[in-house]
Amino acid sequence: MDVTIYHNPACGTSRNVLALIRAAGIEPAIVDYLKHPPSREELARMIADAGLTVREAIREKGTPYAALGLDDPALGHAALIEAMIETPILINRPFVVTPLGTRLARPSERVLEILPETFKAPFFKEDGEEVLNPEGKPLG
């Protein structure tokens, strides 16, 4: 299965999602989106395919969101996407694209919605939170 993760290695959620993908037996294509941001068209498609608005896909925490005035409700989607392309840290992460769909995997368990059910063991996040039981089934 072809899987692509738009990854930030400094982000714990992104690392957990990458580990979940690998636990499914898949080695994904990894795009360090801070160094290689998606094109305007790719970003707009990922946001739409994930069923999000642009405002839901933009990251505020730890970014220049407020300093750039992006909290102005008069700004349209095109202006927000342009800001995300120019300043990739504004792209919330991680986006994951598979043949089963596209998700902004926040929380990390959201990626399970678009991965095959091939898990055979428990899975724990970096912080120790259990995501998959000993049979590899999602909790909750």
Domain regions of the chain by residue span: 4-132
What's the CA gap between 44 and 81, in Å, rounded? Answer: 7
pLDDT tens per residue across all 140 residues of the chain: 999 999 999 999 999 999 999 999 999 999 999 999 999 999 999 999 999 999 999 999 999 999 999 999 999 999 999 999 999 999 999 999 999 999 999 999 999 999 998 888 899 999 999 999 998 889 87
Residue listed under structure tokens 């990739």: 88
- Structure token pair of residue 32: 């360090």
Q: Considering the domain 4-132, what is its CATH architecture?
A: 3-Layer(aba) Sandwich (3.40)
Q: Which helix (H) or strand (E) holds 57?
A: helix 54-57
- Which pLDDT does position 37 carry in this prediction? 95
State whether the Cα torsion 24-34-94-130 is positive or negative.
Answer: positive
- For residue 123, CA distances in Å to 101, 105, 133, 136 come to 22, 16, 7, 7
Read off the pTM.
0.92
Any idea which residues carry the catalytic annotation?
A: 11
What's the CA gap between 4 and 95, in Å, rounded? Answer: 8
